[in-house]
Amino acid sequence: MDHQSIIKNVNRHIVLNENELLFFLSRLKKKKIDRKSLILTQGQLCEYIYFVESGALRAFYLGEAGKESTVMFAVKDWWVTDMYCFINEKPAMLTIEAIEDSLVYQLKKSDLDDLYVKIPQFERLFRVLMQNAYIREQLRVIENLSLSAEERYAIFVNKYPEVAHKVKQKQIASYLGITAEFLSMIKNKKAKDLK
């Protein structure tokens, strides 16, 4: 059956009856995203939040000097959007691209707002999702402040092994806030240390 993984994701946190579930599913639109194509571009209005059914996406910020900072990777079972711009209906600060052919469900802001009213349990679901996201980002801030690039890399690989082997090192480097060259050096140094 279709929608399997998103239903499972929702059921982890709330219990919906048949009608509620159908109403929810009716608000989703399935989208195939080709590798390298964008589901959100910096400057565009960010209307949707996405749930990743399969594949992998990357959300990044493009700075003045053309430097990319990877904000998050989203693989199977992750929700992703430019939250600030989604909530405030502002032009996106982030760009979101598919790193592989992906399948996502998109949910429109107005539909989500509607869900909150019609099925208040969605408040709970998103309360929990936002809470997890907050905790995750706060932990990342702490790591950025207190650890060296080398330590952060080790933690990243350990925490997201599936992501680490899917994405380019360049992209991991931009997630860690270092250059691709320096990450290369770190890895190489580590290999030498083991000898």
CB neighbours of residue 98 within 10 Å: 22
Q: Are strands 48-54 and 79-80 parallel, antiparallel or unpaired?
A: antiparallel
Among 103, 112, 155, 185, the residue binding DNA under the rule CB under 7 A is 185
Tell which positions 32-91 bind a copy of itself, by CB under 8 A.
61, 63, 67, 69, 71, 83-84, 87
Per CB under 7 A, the list member of 3, 13, 76, 187 interacting with DNA is: 187
* Residues numbered 50-69 forming contacts with DNA, rule: CB under 7 A: 67
Q: Choosing among DNA, a copy of itself, none, which partner's interface includes residue 130 (Cβ < 5 to 8 Å by kind)?
A: a copy of itself
The distance of closest approach from Cβ of residue 83 to a copy of itself in the complex, given in angstroms and rounded to an integer, is 5
**Neighbour order of strands in the sheet with 38-40:** 38-40, 94-98, 56-62, 68-75
Choose the one of a copy of itself, DNA, none that binds residue 149, judging by a C-beta under 5 to 8 angstroms depending on kind: DNA
CA-to-CA distance for 46 and 110, rounded, in angstroms?
Answer: 12
Decide if residue 161 touches a copy of itself (CB under 8 A). no
Chosen from DNA, a copy of itself, none, partner binding at 84 (C-beta under 5 to 8 Å by type): a copy of itself
Of 95-114, binders to a copy of itself (CB under 8 A) are none
Distance between CA atoms of residues 127 and 161, nearest Å: 27
Q: Where are the alpha helices (DSSP H) in 17-120?
A: 18-26, 83-88, 109-118
Please state, in angstroms and rounded to a whole number, the distance separating the CA atoms of residues 178 and 176. Answer: 6
Which one of 130, 168, 181, 189 is in contact with a copy of itself (CB under 8 A)? 130
What HEC string does 29-43 produce? EEEEECCCCEEECCC
Where along the sequence are the contacts to DNA (CB under 7 A)? Answer: 67, 148-150, 168-170, 177-185, 187-188
